[in-house]
Structure 1
Amino acid sequence: MKYCKRCLYPANHPLNITFDGYGVCSGCRVHEEKDVLDWDERKEKLEKIFSEFRSGTQKTYDCIIPVSGARDSYFIVYMVKNIFKMHPLLVTYNKHYNTKIGIRNLAYLQTIFGCDLISCTVSPERVKRITRESLRRKGSIYWHCLAGSTVFPVQTAVKLKIPLIVWGAHQGCDQTGMFSHLDEVEMTRKYRKEHDLMGMEAEDFIRDSDVVAIEDMKQYIYPHNKELESVGVRGIYLSNYIRWDSKAQHELMIEKYGYETMLQQRTFDTYNDVDCFHYSGIHDYIKFLKWGYGKVTDHASREVRLKRMTREEGISMVRKFQNIYPKDLSIFLEWLGMSENEFFGYIDKHRDPRIWQKNDCADWELKDSIVNHAGDEGVDDVRLQRKEGCEFLLVPSKEPNEVEDNHVLIGRACVDNGHLPEVIKRYPDEIL
């Protein structure tokens, strides 16, 4: 397997990746734009976009922001509402695998910024049927999460006639350099299907399925192009206009608003995806079993590019986390009503033969790994020098007696202002 000589990404990245003559991947090359673009100028372009949709009144929503209890939701709302003075409507898709921390983060998010929020919760039994089918056909427990979180904001935009949707980072641009920031790519149905949904839209689920019916998929069907055109729906990515640095952004939100973090099973990043009980556990383990690498590679590659980690330190993180067996598998299987044999039978069918093979004992083994490429020729020629440390904070829980021992379907929607923590009360001008 070919690996980038600057970061840790392999040639079989599912979003597609290319390498130049120096062995540096397309993601690293596009990432170089972050250090040369005029971001003040790009913010001005963003302001021009917002000015087209800003109503100047609290009676009308200026835009929609998809949010959750993790990722960059706090930062996105902070930028759009507090910095650019837009009046957003927040929307969230209930992924069913919620953590208690994620529910608290979302409740505090809504309270701190004083925004209205609409949520979508699909019937648990329907989600289970869809998850069984997505495991069989795509080797994924996360299809419904990706489908729901990318379609519910668009459905809401059409229904309420709110044209502008503001997303955070574009994954294809940020990870693999699929686009330049200067392309200012916007969300499309085509990209969603081919990459977010692994080539399978809701309508595709119904075909050749004895498990999933049209009634199960209504919440996941993308609006027709005529509906989108009639409202003028467009989805922009903030990362095209703001220099994206997930770690720095989270730490700003921790300082200002007490965003809660959590140790993750299979990576060192304590900030991202703390809202999902299975994301950094069984979901990431599935990614490893399919592609031969996991989220720790994503996170280490990001930190190498941002000059907070050397390539060798990143490889050390892969050694530490990549092979960890997820503790949440039994909980997930009990919820779904599936045996381990059935589960792994589905996953094994989706292993990438470029990186996995069976040995003489009929056991699966990796053909290669980034850990075998620490000393590749040419690595020093393209090396980025580390400029700062890479410590991730573990924020004390607002409810320290609670134990994260299972996923939660639903929780509180907001928090009484009288119960906001002191770290938030230091910024009263930004609460409402």
Structure 2
Amino acid sequence: MQYCKRCLYPENHPLNIIFDEDGVCSGCRVHEEKDILDWNSRGNKLKSIFEGYKNKSGNNYDCIIPISGARDSYFIVHTVKNVFGMNPLLVTYNKHYNTELGIRNLAYLRTLFDCDTLTMTVSPERVKNITRATLRKMGSMYWHCLAGQTVFPVQVAVKFKIPLIVWGCHQGIDQVGMFSHLDEVEMTRKYRKDHDLMGYEAEDLVDIFDHVREEDLIQYFYPSDTEIERVGVRGIYLNNYIRWDTKAQHEKMIKMYGYETGLQQRTFDTYNDVDCFHYSDLHDYIKWLKWGYAKATDHASREIRFGRLSREEGIDLVEKWSSRPASMDLFCDWLKIDKEALQLVLDQHRHPSAWKRDLSTWEWNLKDSISNHRYDQNIDKVRLQKIEDCNFSITPSRRPGYKDDKYVLIGKGFIN
């Protein structure tokens, strides 16, 4: 397996990474644009886009912003509303795996920014049926979250005739350099299906065997091309116009708005995905079972590129945060499945590029890992200078003493 000589990404990255003659991956090369592009000029271009979508009559919203109780939601809303003066409608898909911390963050976001918000909560039984199907078909417990988060904003845009959707960061740009920032790629149904949804649209899940009916999936159906064209819906990514640095952005939001952070199970990043029990835990473990690397690799690679970690420090963190998932019991109880059955299903989705089964012991063995590439040749030739330390903070809990150990389907939506 080839690994990047600058960051930690392997060649089997599911978003399709490539390497140059120096052994540096496309993600690292596109990241270099962050230090050479004229971001003032790009910010002015974003301002011009926003000006074209402002609702002059005041009888509708200027744009839609998909949000959650974590990630870069605070930064996106702050930027769009307070920096550029837009009047956004916030939309959120209820992922069902919510932490109480995430519910609090979401409530504070809605209250502090004084924005209207629409939330879609699909019936828990429907979500469970869909999740059983996606576990079997693609080894995913998170398909319904990704599908809902990416389709609900588009459905709302069509229904309320709000043509502009503002997304945060394009994963394909930031992780693997699939595009240049200058390409100014926008959200497309094709990218969503191929990468976010692992090749499955909602209608592909209708199956008598899985007891999934078409009516169970209606909330996940993407609007037709005709509907989208009638409204002129487009989805732009802020990271094409703003130098994206999620760590620095979160720290700014902590200072300005009191964004609440929390320890994660399988990564050192305490800022992203604190709203979900599973994203950086069981869901991440499933990613490791499939591809042989996990969330700590994503986060360490990002911090190496920003000069906050050396490559060796990144490898140390990947090794440190390779724990077993802590939330498997919680998920199995919710889905009414035992852990052995879940593991058996997941083993069917291990990718042959990463895993090989020993036929004598029937044990799965990882073919390679970044730990075996600590001393690859020519690493120093492409090494980035470390310019600062990489420290993630834990903020004081707004609910000290509370044990956050069960899903919160619907919580308090505002702050007094």
AA paired with 1:336? L
Name which of structure 1's ranges 89-98 and 395-404 shifts more when overlaid on structure 2: 395-404
When residues 21 and 208 of structure 1 are mapped into structure 2, their CA distance, relative to the original with a 3 A threshold, is farther
For 1:338, the equivalent position in structure 2 comes to 337
3-state SS of 1:357 partner:
strand
For 1:314, the equivalent position in structure 2 comes to 314
AA paired with 1:152? F
Query: 2:261 aligned with 1:286, yes or no?
Result: no
Alignment of 1:397-408 (within 5 A): 397-408=397-408
Report the count of equivalent residues. 415
CA distance in 1, matches of 2:143, 2:388: 37
AA paired with 2:313? E
CA distance in 2, matches of 1:319, 1:275: 24
Return the offset for 1:401. Answer: 2.2
Return the offset for 1:408. Answer: 1.2
CA contact (8 A) 2:42 2:242 kept: yes
3-state SS of 1:280 partner:
coil
The alignment's C-alpha RMSD in Å is 0.9
For 1:299, the equivalent position in structure 2 comes to 299
CA contact (8 A) 1:67 1:91 kept: yes
AA paired with 1:358? R
CA contact (8 A) 2:53 2:164 kept: yes
CA distance in 1, matches of 2:105, 2:36: 34
Return the offset for 1:57. Answer: 6.2
Alignment of 1:114-153 (within 5 A): 114-153=114-153
For 1:192, the equivalent position in structure 2 comes to 192
Return the offset for 1:56. Answer: 4.9
Return the offset for 1:344. Answer: 1.2
For 2:55, the equivalent position in structure 1 comes to 55
3-state SS of 2:217 partner:
helix
Q: Gaps (5+ residues) in structure 2?
A: none
What is the CA deviation profile of residues 117-170 of structure 1, one whole-angstrom value per residue up to 9, with x for unaligned ones?
000000000000000000000000000000000000000000000000000000
CA contact (8 A) 2:139 2:345 kept: yes
3-state SS of 2:132 partner:
helix
Q: Gaps (5+ residues) in structure 1?
A: 417-432
3-state SS of 2:375 partner:
coil
Return the offset for 1:210. Answer: 3.8
CA contact (8 A) 1:58 1:87 kept: no
What is the CA deviation profile of residues 213-259 of structure 1, one whole-angstrom value per residue up to 9, with x for unaligned ones?
00110000000000000000000000000000000000000000000
CA distance in 1, matches of 2:58, 2:361: 66
Return the offset for 1:49. Answer: 0.4
- The percentage of counterpart residues that share the same residue type is 65
For 1:424, the equivalent position in structure 2 comes to none
Name which of structure 1's ranges 332-341 and 32-41 shifts more when overlaid on structure 2: 332-341
AA paired with 1:340? K
Q: TM-score, normalised by structure 1?
A: 0.95
For 2:277, the equivalent position in structure 1 comes to 277
CA distance in 2, matches of 1:242, 1:64: 18
CA distance in 2, matches of 1:228, 1:269: 37
Return the offset for 1:59. Answer: 3.9
CA contact (8 A) 1:261 1:393 kept: yes
List 4+ stretches of structure 1 deviating above 3 A. Answer: 56-59, 207-210
For 2:388, the equivalent position in structure 1 comes to 388
CA contact (8 A) 2:133 2:210 kept: no
Alignment of 1:98-177 (within 5 A): 98-177=98-177
AA paired with 1:136? R
Return the offset for 1:341. Answer: 2.1
